[in-house]
Amino acid sequence: MAAPKLWPLDPEPEVIQRTVHDWHVSGDGSLCLLQTAAAWTGAEVAAELVVKAAGWFLEFLLMQAGVVQAMTTGGIAGSDELDHLLDPRAGNAPEGPSMGAA
């Protein structure tokens, strides 16, 4: 079973971001949402990818703003290590454009 691919439309990662692993973007501009190809068997719920893509979007904004130097390994949705950066009461929550999939 081939893993599904999602491409962010806005923001669209620049070519340089597609060549550095820290951004979790593949060379074709699609998001790297799975740690291995075997992580997708086809039995998973596709809605889980929406959560991963939303997490990628938040981490992308944090990277662009220079708040973090690299994205988390397992994704922000499954970790609380960056939660303090997303608390709007602390004035740290990133702002940015919406994201779509193709």
Instruction: Classify residue 2: in a domain, yes or no.
Output: no
Position 13, amino acid: P
Q: How many angstroms separate the CA atoms of 32 and 30, rounded?
A: 7
- Quick one: CA dihedral 35, 40, 43, 47, positive or negative? positive
Instruction: Classify residue 53: in a domain, yes or no.
Output: yes
Confidence band, pLDDT 50/70/90 cuts, at residue 41? confident
Q: What is the DSSP string of 70-87?
A: S--SS-GGG--TTGGGS-
pTM: 0.77
What is the count of structural domains for the chain?
1
Instruction: Classify residue 36: in a domain, yes or no.
Output: yes
pLDDT per position as a tens digit, 56-94:
999 999 999 898 998 888 888 888 888 888 776 656 555
Per-residue pLDDT at 97 exceeds 70: no
Which domain, by its residues, includes 48?
15-90
